[in-house]
Amino acid sequence: MALAPFSRLRRPPWVALAAAALLAAPSPAAAGLLMPMLQLVRPQIEHRLAKVCVEAAAGGNPDLERTLVRPCRQLARPTSQCLIEETDRTGRGLGVITELLAGRFGDDSEVVVKRCLARLFGLPADSLNEVPLRALARRFGNANSNRPLPGGPSAGEP
């Protein structure tokens, strides 16, 4: 049995409308459409955040790594929730999911991370928009480290 060409398949009109809504530019009305999918990946986000937290804070010290597992897990939960909420609020869910699937950190992800950092620091949501994320990582994440940032000079270099 041969399959009918895609153009001849009868699709309900709502399918085209839903596809158009997902592919349209982010808008407050579109926010919330991807929230169920984002909530599904929350455990993976929390696990990854906790792992990165332990690695960054312990600096390779095995004893310190063991003591940081629990606090990093506790920090990962509200952080992952913030990332999901800000992804939803900004309407950048499709872009963030696309970047995650591609294994890259792109513009959509950067906007969401900056909004979460601002929120966690008690600042207005858009207050870090003009600050390069690499500068924030250098200042807060690697301030006492000689390890280089991915793709950048080590923290000890000018």
Cα angle 17, 106, 103 (rounded to 5 degrees) comes to 90
Asked if residue 131 is part of any domain, the answer here is: yes
Write down the mean pLDDT value for the chain: 74
CB 98 within 8 A of CB 112: no
Q: Hey, what are 18's tokens? A: 């839903």
Asked if residue 24 is part of any domain, the answer here is: no
24-41: average pLDDT: 65
DSSP character for 3?
Answer: P
* Lowest-pLDDT range of 13-22, 23-32, 46-55, 134-143: 13-22
Position 13 pLDDT exceeds 60: no
How many domains does the chain contain in total? Answer: 1
Asked if residue 82 is part of any domain, the answer here is: yes
Q: Across the strands, what pairs with 154?
A: 148
Position 36 pLDDT exceeds 90: no
Asked if residue 22 is part of any domain, the answer here is: no
Q: Any alpha helices (H) in the chain, and if so which ranges?
A: 13-23, 35-40, 42-58, 62-90, 93-102, 107-120, 133-136
Q: How does residue 103 score in pLDDT terms, banded at 50, 70 and 90?
A: confident
Asked if residue 17 is part of any domain, the answer here is: no
Asked if residue 157 is part of any domain, the answer here is: no
Q: In angstroms, rounded to a whole number, what is the distance separating the alpha carbons of residues 154 and 53? A: 19
CB 157 within 8 A of CB 140: no
46-51: average pLDDT: 89
pLDDT on residue 142: 53
- Note down the domain range covering 61: 33-141
Asked if residue 84 is part of any domain, the answer here is: yes
Asked if residue 151 is part of any domain, the answer here is: no
Q: In angstroms, rounded to a whole number, what is the distance separating the alpha carbons of residues 6 and 84? A: 35
115-124: average pLDDT: 90
